[in-house]
């Protein structure tokens, strides 16, 4: 069984490499107790100088939203530091733009805030970006429509820092990454400078660099970002996935967050025709593979990453790639195609 599974993945990845869709990939997939596949192919850089490894550290782009920011929100909820249905301005008093209608923390986390795809917070420095984030009003009324926007997670990251009194990178390290033993996972920059361990993702100048240009400027200038900026590797992400498959528990006596917080971030609350979402995660969209239960959650990153969990099947898949710059959609479909095939090996 395992050989046929590896052959299936190798066939798809070889096709994508040969056709200029990706440069390399690593996959870590399994169940709560077993690993089905852990293997790497191709290269971690666009020049073909560094071999992809199973523990290559990769810029996770928007997977940051689910892995770091959403998990941090759940912890803050457990500690009574915030309520998801309270207007976000209660926790971010420095936000000065006029609001015709209250926008809640949940609205931000579910991309229902009305901020939309605004581009005018682009600036040369992180300080200028931060000023724009707290001074520009939403384009549309809240809860009128779903529109995916990094703006929401910038604000959520700032809220987490306000209510915890800690920078987002330090809070996530102390409360998420370290407890789970994710020793190669960090926010802002990789924990190692070893060139053999660092991937160079599309749109970056060197290995170990953030691909999101706004998050890059923020971290460069001493700020943080809740939308992007995590660096991680497949084995670390498998630890995180298994924690979620165990309802947030990571040992017999320890939980990352409570059952109530776990339900809050995994239960679908938005049922648009095209997409279903929970707080921070995608539950179903046009890319959801066949054969999985209604209790799935997943998230992808712009530069070529997907983490996928089926909570009923206790199944997870981590597919990390170094994709080529112009093949966003085909590379994304390729990741979900492999996840669908891997899922066939789980009862």
Nearest partner of 242 among 26, 2, 33, 28, judged by Cα: 33
To the nearest whole number, what is the mean pLDDT of the chain? 95
State mean pLDDT over 189-193.
97
| CB atoms closer than 10 angstroms to residue 252 | 5
- Tell me: pLDDT of 117 over 90: no
Q: 114 lies in which domain range?
A: 2-343
pLDDT in tens, 49-62: 999 999 999 999 99
- Structural domains counted in the chain: 1
Triad 119, 280, 323: Cα angle to 5°:
65
Interatomic CA distance for residues 204 and 200, integer angstroms: 7
- What does pTM read for this prediction? 0.96
- Tell me: pLDDT of 2 over 70: no
pLDDT in tens, 197-241: 999 999 999 999 999 999 999 999 999 999 999 999 999 999 999
> What are all long-range contacts of 217-220, with beta carbons under 8 Å and residues at least 24 apart?
217/123, 217/124, 217/125, 217/126, 217/129, 218/126, 218/129, 218/130, 219/126, 219/188, 219/189, 220/126
- Tell me: pLDDT of 298 over 80: yes
Strands (DSSP E) contained in the chain are 22-31, 35-42, 58-59, 186-187, 230-232, 270-271, 276-277, 282-284, 296-301, 305-310, 315-323
Triad 106, 109, 114: Cα angle to 5°:
85
**CB within 8 Å of 177: residues ≥ 6 apart:** 183, 185, 186, 236
* Contact (Cβ atoms closer than 8 angstroms) between residue 212 and residue 64: no
- Whichever domain contains 220, its CATH number is 3.40.710.10
Q: What percent of the chain has pLDDT over 90?
A: 89
* Contact (Cβ atoms closer than 8 angstroms) between residue 120 and residue 136: yes
* Contact (Cβ atoms closer than 8 angstroms) between residue 296 and residue 290: no
Alpha-carbon torsion angle 187, 163, 165, 77, nearest 10 = -60
* Contact (Cβ atoms closer than 8 angstroms) between residue 323 and residue 21: yes
């Amino acid at each position: 069984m395992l050989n046929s599974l590896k052959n299936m993945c190798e066939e798809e990845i070889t096709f994508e490499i040969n056709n200029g869709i990706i440069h390399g990939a690593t996959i870590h997939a399994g169940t709560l107790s077993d690993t089905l596949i852990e293997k790497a192919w191709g290269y971690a850089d666009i020049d073909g100088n560094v071999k992809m490894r199973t523990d290559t550290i990769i810029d996770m782009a928007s997977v940051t939203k689910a892995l770091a920011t959403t998990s941090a929100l759940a912890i803050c909820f457990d500690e009574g530091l915030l309520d998801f249905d309270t207007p976000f301005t209660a926790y971010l008093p420095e936000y000065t733009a006029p609001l015709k209608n209250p926008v809640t923390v949940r609205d931000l986390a579910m991309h229902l805030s009305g901020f939309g795809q605004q581009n005018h917070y682009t600036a040369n420095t992180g300080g200028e970006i931060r000023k724009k984030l707290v001074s520009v009003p939403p384009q549309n009324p809240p809860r009128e429509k779903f529109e995916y926007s990094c703006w929401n997670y910038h604000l959520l990251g700032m809220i987490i820092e306000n209510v915890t009194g800690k920078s987002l990178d330090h809070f996530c390290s102390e409360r998420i990454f370290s407890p789970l033993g994710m020793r190669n996972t960090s926010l802002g920059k990789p924990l190692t400078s070893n060139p053999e361990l660092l991937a160079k993702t599309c749109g970056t100048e060197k290995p170990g660099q953030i691909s999101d240009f706004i998050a890059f400027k923020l971290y460069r200038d001493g700020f943080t970002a809740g939308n992007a900026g995590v660096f991680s590797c497949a084995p670390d992400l498998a630890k995180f996935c298994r924690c979620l498959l165990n309802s947030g528990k990571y040992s017999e006596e320890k939980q990352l967050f409570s059952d109530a917080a776990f339900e809050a971030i995994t239960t679908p609350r938005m049922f648009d025709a095209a997409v279903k979402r929970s707080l921070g995660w995608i539950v179903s969209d046009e890319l959801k593979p066949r054969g999985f239960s209604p209790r799935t959650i997943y998230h992808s990153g712009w530069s070529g990453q997907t983490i996928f969990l089926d909570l009923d099947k206790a199944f997870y898949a981590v597919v990390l790639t170094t994709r080529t710059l112009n093949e966003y959609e085909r590379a994304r479909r390729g990741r979900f195609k492999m996840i669908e095939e891997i899922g066939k090996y789980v009862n």
